[in-house]
Amino acid sequence: MIIKMSSAASDAEIAHVVERVKECGCQPNISRGVEYIIIGAVGSPDMRIQLEALRAAPGVEDVIPITHPFKLVSRQYKQGRSVVRVGPVSIGDGEVVVIAGPCSVESRAQLLLTAHAVRDAGANMLRGGAYKPRTSPYDFQGLGVEGLQFLKMAREETGLPVVTEVLSTEDVEIVAEYADMLQVGARNMQNFSLLRCLAKLQRPILLKRGPSATIKEWLLAAEYLLAGGNSDVVLCERGIKTFETETRNTLDLSAVALAKELSHLPVIVDPSHATGRRSLVPSLSKAAIAVGADGLIIEVHPEPERALSDGPQSLDLEGFATLMRHLEEPAAKLARTDAVAA
């Protein structure tokens, strides 16, 4: 429920409503606008009648049900946009954040070389998988804890905050020890025990959209994190399965625009997994920015032809530096300004 109060409501009137919301077993979330104060209350549907009775409370103008199945992530619940902080980096504050690095952490040398190069080219954060979700059990599965240690070294050397995937609940503690942000991969988007476990963590989460998940399912997966207590969530569109086989997946740009319309959470785009083709990464990066994405996550490898995973979609160091220069061009920036203003 959304409890709409006049901005002229007194502190005592607001406190009374907050108290009643808590008595109904709901968690109040207050956001103050110029005209109204909005108090969001999400809890058991049984409490609906009691919350609706708050219409009679002093200072309350209306009590409106949240119509979406996802509540805490919806823009009905929270006015304005959420900004997620990962160390010194802010995602969702209007600047496009670029996260770059290899698909897999393969060695200390490979990671450090990539980390320095992407930092020098202007990346804001480093990515790299230590635990890899591979389609085949015979493929490289990641370096595990050793990979996490290399990520930590790279952060210490470059100052770039690190995001890395966590595959299972058993690994949450160790991954959280090393990473600044934890990634829930596309295949795990609806791993509800993992989501519940990450909800209890005081660490930002990058939640990728499942390859066959609807936008509603994706936002409901995010709802698990917020409902469990973690509101530092960034959504990531990484392409969905369609009939098309020329690209690895199909980048759903309308999902980016719609997720931003429906939710206050930041949304970023992964053009690497979306296309599976290095040549398409620059144009889809620009398209993502034009449509209003808050950032990009891009795979970069010093020698893509030797990569242990996702070489064909990885940019080399020079390709990444060139892309970063292009993203600075006025056309890309103009597109961004339009998207923000709309």
- Residues of span 263-322 touching Mn ion by CB under 5 A: 310
User: What are the b/e assignments for 99-112, b being 16+ CB within 10 Å?
Assistant: bbbbbbbbeeebbe
| Closer of 97 and 103 to ligand PEP (Cβ) | 103
Distance between CA atoms of residues 341 and 191, nearest Å: 36
Structure-token pair, residue 291 = 């449509």
Supply the angle between the helices 317-327 and 281-290 in degrees, to the nearest 10.
30
Closest approach of Cβ 76 to ligand PEP, in Å?
A: 28
Contact 288, 250 (CB under 8 A): no
CB of 32 to ligand PEP, least distance (A): 37
**Cα(first)–Cα(last) distance of the chain, in Å?**
27
Q: Site mask, ligand PEP, residues 100-129, x = CB under 6 A?
A: ---x-------------------------x
Q: What angle do CA 278, 283, 289 make, to 5 degrees?
A: 120
Least Å distance, CB 166 to ligand PEP, is 11
**Minimum distance, C-beta of residue 291 to ligand PEP, in the bound complex (Å):** 18
Size of the site for Mn ion (CB under 5 A): 2
Binding partner of residue 248 among ligand PEP, Mn ion, none, CB under 5 to 8 Å per kind? Answer: none
| Beta carbons within 8 Å of 150's beta carbon, 6+ residues apart | 105, 107, 108, 111, 112, 128, 130, 143
Which positions from 102 to 121 touch Mn ion by CB under 5 A, shown as an x/- string?
-x------------------
> Using CB under 6 A, which of 101, 142, 185, 302 touches ligand PEP?
185
Residues in contact with ligand PEP by CB under 6 A are: 103, 129, 133, 185-187, 208, 238, 270, 273
Residues in contact with Mn ion by CB under 5 A are: 103, 310
